[in-house]
């Protein structure tokens, strides 16, 4: 059996850990996140092996949709995103796949009939920079490359259309 002194030391350690965890919850965390209204740029490889820079789309509105093939809400919204892409050629729609194998993504896109550009965030750094905490997450960039809107969760065609129309900043 433990003597009284050992019990006191264990008690103090447990209390100290609990206090540290409580304090940690209230400390603001600084992430390397992009800010809404901050201009963004990054380069990623597409599923067809070409490298794209977001800055090359300046002058057009851009929708960035972060997704994964294994995510049911992501899979459910893709037909609506494809339809939106077909009906709105003046807006650049870009899917950003997070940390999946190129062949897995390529097969998935072919099976879903996706024709819009899809980039591969192989190491997840871009998703981390955007502060992605759940997928799907969609951003709208204005013609200057600044983030003007963010939506976390699945979107239908009508919701995506409204998302773009409500944020008419150029």
| Residue 160: strand, helix, or coil | helix
Residue pair 43/74 in contact (Cβ under 8 Å)? The answer is no
Rounded distance, CA 162 to CA 170, Å? 16
Listed in sequence order, the residues at least 6 apart from 138 whose beta carbon sits closer than 8 Å to its beta carbon are: 63, 64, 65, 66, 150, 151, 155, 160, 163
Q: Show the DSSP H helices in 27-132 as ranges.
A: 72-87, 102-112, 125-129
Taking the C-alpha atoms of 133, 155, 119 and 170 in order, what is their torsion angle to the nearest 10 degrees?
A: -100
Q: How far is CA 57 from CA 63, 74, 82, 130, 156, in A?
A: 11, 24, 19, 18, 24
pLDDT at 4: 83
ω into 76 cis (within 30 of 0): no
Q: What is the mean pLDDT of each run of 10 residues along the chain (170 residues)?
A: 76 67 44 50 94 94 97 97 97 97 96 97 94 95 93 96 83
Select from 3.40.50.2300, 3.40.30.10, 3.40.140.80, 3.50.50.60 the CATH code of 43-165. Answer: 3.40.30.10
Please report the pLDDT score of residue 8 as a whole number: 78
CB 96 within 8 A of CB 127: yes
Which pLDDT does position 167 carry in this prediction? Answer: 83
Extents of the domains making up the chain: 43-165
Rounded to an integer, what distance in angstroms lies between the CA atom of residue 63 and that of residue 106? 20
pLDDT at residue 1, as a whole number: 62
pLDDT given for residue 26 in this prediction: 44
* Distance from C-alpha of 29 to C-alpha of 8, rounded to nearest angstrom: 33
């Amino acid at each position: 059996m433990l003597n009284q002194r050992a019990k006191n030391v264990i008690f103090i350690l447990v209390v100290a850990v609990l206090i540290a965890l409580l304090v940690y919850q209230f400390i603001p965390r600084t992430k390397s996140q992009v800010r809404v209204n901050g201009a963004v740029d990054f380069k990623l490889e597409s599923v067809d092996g070409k490298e794209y820079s977001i800055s090359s789309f300046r002058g057009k509105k851009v929708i960035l949709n972060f997704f994964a093939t294994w995510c049911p809400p992501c899979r459910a919204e893709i037909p609506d995103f494809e339809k939106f892409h077909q009906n709105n050629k003046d807006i650049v729609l870009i899917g950003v796949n997070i940390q999946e194998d190129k062949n897995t993504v390529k097969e998935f896109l072919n099976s879903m009939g996706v024709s819009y550009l899809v980039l591969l965030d192989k190491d997840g750094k871009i998703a981390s920079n955007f502060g992605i905490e759940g997928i799907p997450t969609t951003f709208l960039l204005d013609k200057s490359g600044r983030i003007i809107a963010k939506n976390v969760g699945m979107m239908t065609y009508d919701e995506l259309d409204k998302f773009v129309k409500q944020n008419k900043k150029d």
